[in-house]
Amino acid sequence: MSKALQIYIDGTLCDEDNAKISVFDHGLLYGDGVFEGIRFYCGRVFKLKEHIDRLYDSAKAIQLTVSISHEEMSKAVMDTIRANELKDGYVRLLVTRGVGSLGLNPFLCERSSVIIIASKIALYDEEKYQQGLTLVTCSTRRPAPAALSPSVKSLNYLNNIMAKVEALNAGAEEGVMLNEQGFVAECTGDNVFVVKSGKIYTPPVTAGGLNGITRQVVMQLAHDEGFELLEQDLTRYELYTADEFFLSGTAAEIVPVAKYDGRIIGEGKIGPVTLRMMEFFRELTQTTGMPIYE
Ligand code: PXG
């Protein structure tokens, strides 16, 4: 039997069986809260500062006061990984609105709660990283920024989950989500990139996707390696006719797409630019990040 995970809740580490929160927490009642998914590799946390900064930005945007500082949050993440004696894995960091009453008013919640889970994650089967994913377009659209900013990484993921359900029902691994105008926004938990005639394209954040940290890493790598990368509105046409198509995300890392809405992408196998980006990304994750055990 594997050892019980040590879960961080508001400054205390406890066994997973005892890691419990109130049924009156507005994170549960209303999806009122924010989260991050962070990876660590070879005993180093990848892009920790970027994730913590985005968490606090999400919190600020929904007027949620995080009870601890950025530095305390970083330390809590490190402590939780150490308590679980992990070197490679995935951290789920949540800040919930906290315990309140039955009623929407978030200001009746006394104190937000911080929950940190350090564990493992595998989104897609290993062979998909060689063969590529099958994608479909979802009819579920990303909400307009005026409804709910897609930049807020909130605990309310029902929009993305409904899109994922559509993709799975269609026998695909992932779904492409469009915005209200019909431009490509992102996938249900990953950002989208295509390659055409040697240039890399990705939708701008204003198209309705999250400004993924892996997305930013891909953009930086592309720049460093001399690729031309353009942020521009994309339609399904540009995805269908791409030479290569790949997704980026903390959980997914970089994963190629082989088939989309029945169309074979490029030659139907992992393309040279995607392969290079995967290699560069791997190199970066193995050699950078905040050391956990020093
Ligand atoms: N878009 C959305 C909607 C996301 O939730 C990304 C893009 C990629 O962003 P990062 O910063 O990770 O490169 C995300 C984050 C999952 C899962 O289980 C996915 C994410 C987070 C947590 C869980 O699929 N993706």
32, 166: one domain: no
Kindly report the CATH number assigned to the domain that includes residue 133.
Answer: 3.20.10.10
In this prediction, residue 4 carries a pLDDT of: 92
114, 150: one domain: no
In this prediction, residue 14 carries a pLDDT of: 96
In this prediction, residue 123 carries a pLDDT of: 83
pLDDT in tens, 87-120: 999 999 999 999 999 999 999 999 999 999 999 9
pLDDT in tens, 49-92: 999 999 999 999 999 999 999 999 999 999 999 999 999 999 99
What is the distance in A from the centroid of ligand 1 to the CA of 240?
A: 23
148, 230: one domain: yes
33, 141: one domain: no
14, 59: one domain: yes
In this prediction, residue 156 carries a pLDDT of: 96
Phi, psi (5° rounding) for residue 56? -70, -30
- pTM recorded for the entire structure: 0.96
Q: Is residue 291 part of a domain?
A: no
**Of the residues 53, 88, 119, the one at which a domain ends:** 119
In this prediction, residue 121 carries a pLDDT of: 87
Between the alpha carbon of residue 40 and those of residues 52, 55, 164, 221, 294, the distances in Å are 14, 17, 25, 19, 14
Number of helices (H) and strands (E), helices first, in the chain?
8, 16
Query: Which segments of 170-244 does DSSP mark as H helices, in order?
Result: 213-224, 236-240
Q: Is residue 293 part of a domain?
A: no
Tell me the C-alpha distance between 226 and 249, whole Å: 22
Label residue 3 by pLDDT band (50, 70, 90). confident
Label residue 2 by pLDDT band (50, 70, 90). confident
**Of the residues 100, 119, 138, the one at which a domain ends:** 119
In this prediction, residue 198 carries a pLDDT of: 96
Helical (H) or strand (E) element with 55: helix 48-61
Q: Is residue 79 part of a domain?
A: yes
The secondary structure of 91-129 as a DSSP string is EEEEEE--B--SSS-GGG----EEEEEEE----S-TTHH
1 has pLDDT over 70? no
- The catalytically annotated residue of 153, 164, 259, 269 is 153
When divided into structural domains, the chain yields a total of 2
131, 188: one domain: yes
Q: Domain range holding 65? A: 6-119
Q: Is residue 256 part of a domain?
A: yes
Widest distance between CA atoms in the chain: 56
31, 96: one domain: yes
Per the CB < 8 A criterion, the answer to whether 176 and 208 are in contact is no
95, 140: one domain: no
Type of residue numbered 24: F
Per the CB < 8 A criterion, the answer to whether 92 and 157 are in contact is no
Q: Answer whether 132 contacts ligand 1 (Cβ < 6 A).
A: no
pLDDT in tens, 270-287: 999 999 999 999 999 999
Residue 207: burial class (beta carbons within 10 Å; 0-12, 13-18, 19+): buried
Q: Is residue 292 part of a domain?
A: no
Q: Is residue 221 part of a domain?
A: yes
Q: Which of 250, 253, 254, 284 to mutate to test the pocket of ligand 1 (most atoms within 8 A of CB)?
A: 250
Q: Is residue 162 part of a domain?
A: yes
Kindly report the CATH number assigned to the domain that includes residue 55.
Answer: 3.30.470.10
Q: Which of 121, 162, 186, 210 to mutate to test the pocket of ligand 1 (most atoms within 8 A of CB)?
A: 210
172, 114: one domain: no
pLDDT in tens, 194-234: 999 999 999 999 999 999 999 999 999 999 999 999 999 99
109, 150: one domain: no
Of ligand 1's listed atoms, the one at least distance from the Cα of 215 is 13
